[in-house]
Amino acid sequence: MSYETETIKGKLFADNTFSFPIRVYYEDTDAGGIVYYANYLRFAERARTEYLRHLGINQDGMLKEKGIGFVVRECHINYKSPAKLDDALNITCKIAELKSASAKMEQKLYRGDTVLAEIEITIVFLSLATMRPTKIPEEITNL
């Protein structure tokens, strides 16, 4: 990608967008060497997880110690072009909207400068005890 970047806490950001590289392996593809459609969501999940980790959010600790965490509520994906075996991809992740108990995130999967897929996903902060949305703690919203 050709935009100005800055390093924050050792990760690559541009315009408040987190960037995560990934390689397409044989196991990610179908018999024709094309990435299976559901694997785009797996790649996006990995990027979101690394984004939260980068921000200092310990998802495992929240789940085990407080019984709270993020779950996917809604997901929309627009496939534009197929990814193929051995492609070097870049997945971006950006918070588009932050509410008291949820966040809307925008993600894009790139091969070079070509956008292969666009994903809009809503995650909700959930109490596992009640299985109901709960307010995102300030230590997270203040990051």
pLDDT digits (tens, 9 = 90+) for 66-92: 899 999 999 999 999 999 999 999 999
Q: Would you state the structure tokens that stand for residue 52, as one six-digit string? A: 């939260």
Q: What contacts 139, CB < 8 A, 6 or more positions away?
A: none
**pLDDT digit string (tens) for 2-17?**
223 333 333 444 567 8
Amino acid 143: pLDDT = 67
Q: Per the residue annotation, which of 15, 30, 60, 87 is the catalytic one?
A: 30
What separation in angstroms does the CA of 76 have from each of 11, 12, 83, 108, 118? 26, 25, 18, 12, 8
Mean pLDDT of all residues belonging to the chain: 88
CB 13 within 8 A of CB 19: yes
pLDDT the model gives residue 58: 87
User: What is the mean pLDDT of the segment spanning 16-44?
Assistant: 95
pLDDT at 51 over 80: yes
Give yes or no: 30 in active site: yes
Environment class of 51 (CB within 10 Å of its CB; exposed 0-12, middle 13-18, buried 19+) = buried
In the chain, which ranges are E strands?
A: 6-8, 11-14, 17-23, 68-79, 88-98, 102-111, 114-127, 132-133
Which residue type does 75 have? C
Over residues 33-60, mean pLDDT: 93
User: pLDDT tens digits for 107-130?
Assistant: 999 999 999 999 999 999 999 999
Homologous superfamily assigned to 6-141:
Hotdog Thioesterase (3.10.129.10)
Q: Average pLDDT in the 12-23 region?
A: 79
